[in-house]
Amino acid sequence: MWALSGIPEVQQGDDLAKLIAAAEPALADGDVLLVTSKIVSKAEGRIVEAADREAAIDAEAVRVVARRGTLRIVENRQGLVMAAAGVDASNTPAGTVLLLPEDPDASARAIREGLRDTLGVNVGVVVTDTFGRPWRAGLTDVAIGAAGVRVLDDLRGGTDAYGNPLVATVVATADELAAAGDLVKGKAAGRPVAVVRGLPQVVTPVEDQGEGARALVRNAQDDMFRLGTSEAVREAVTQRRTVRAFTDDPVDPGAVRRAVAAALTAPAPHHTTPWRFVLLESAESRVRLLDAMRDAWIADLRRDGKSEESITKRVRRGDVLRNAPYLVVPCLVMDGSHTYGDARRDGAEREMFVVATGAGVQNFLVALAGERLGSAWVSSTMFCRDVVREVLGLPADWDPMGAVAIGRPAEEPRARAERDAEAFIEVR
């Protein structure tokens, strides 16, 4: 592995393949070229006037992943998650910034084809850029574009030296090549291209351009660390929906318990813990409770003089609870509350505990959304608390504050109506 000397300052319109061929005319079949993205961007005219670098980042970003002060980790238009969308204000004239190549895989293909035309060789090309990484200090180069290179080496289905099956091992070959090339190129040595020789097995046949580096970008569904902390919280809050149709898939009890743990972080008066969560994990317990609640509702509605047709329609609204594979009954307890002997203050004291319970339930619902579970908070248990306490064997001072239906959503929730936050704000 070695870096090429003699590549001049690259200008817009330069033919990189010809510049590389002139610097290293002895390239051979099976070599891999590691090309710094900056010279690709310069050759493609990706230098833009930008007195405000932040505005350039805004233009290149499609999603903010995390933010701390002025530092932003974003997803850019190429699908790469990186600091500042790859917008670089170094190695470019004052008052300008350098953007990443528009299509790094296409850039790599153009260099590969140009070298085949110029030197008659079949090489692989990797376009590299510098990345930081979660949980690891320091920077390294990774592949953002590739052509003629097997970017991933899928070892699943094989065995290790002890005969154990490999079930999860997929090696990011192109990233390993990029990082290795950075060792010989150097960050400030003015040598933007490196050559790796001796790994012909990673180079594809002439007619095969390979998957490209886009294959290295983990898709959203498989990415467990897609968001930064504050963004993850915001995403869970905004993605929470009331789900009324569930699949038959079982609910992981561990996920529900993790959501309960999140609920317990809600604020409460007097350092109290006014929440209790009754988990109905068996079908028998759910049916027994819902049948008793249904009978209580019907009796109430008949006393109100409702018609049988009206009663049937109203009772049907409880189907969301009956069709869910898991139910939770949040309860309010007044342990630690103060008694003032004054109806106004005693009423306010209870209201504080009710608000705290609502905050706990909101935390619970948001945490469920973070577990990719749908939920519906139905307040019907409040209308028959004595029945709920009797069926579930709860203490007399536990007040059921509704029931939460939980499960995997059977369909995509409808889009939430847009609400202008300013319409709900008064400033004094």
> For the segment 171-209, what is each residue's pLDDT rounded down to a tens digit?
999 999 999 999 999 766 789 999 999 999 999 999 999
Q: Are 63 and 232 in contact (CB under 8 A)?
A: no
* Cα distance between residue 44 and residue 13, in whole Å: 6
Q: How far is CA 351 from CA 195, 307, 355, in A?
A: 71, 35, 6
> For the segment 336-383, what is each residue's pLDDT rounded down to a tens digit?
999 999 999 999 999 999 999 999 999 999 999 888 899 999 988 999
Q: Are 107 and 127 in contact (CB under 8 A)?
A: yes
> For the segment 81-134, what is each residue's pLDDT rounded down to a tens digit?
998 888 988 777 778 899 999 999 999 999 999 999 999 999 999 999 999 888
Topology of the domain covering 230-424: NADH Oxidase (3.40.109)
pLDDT band of residue 34 (cuts 50, 70, 90) is very high
- Residue 263 zone, left/alpha/beta (φ > 0; ψ -120 to 50; rest): alpha
- Give pTM, 2 decimals: 0.65
Most confident option among 106-110, 131-135, 213-217, 296-300: 106-110
**What's residue 28's pLDDT?**
97
> Which pair of tokens denotes residue 388?
């709920």
Is 2-46+100-222 a CATH 3.40.50.620 domain? no
The domain ranges of the chain are 2-46+100-222, 230-424
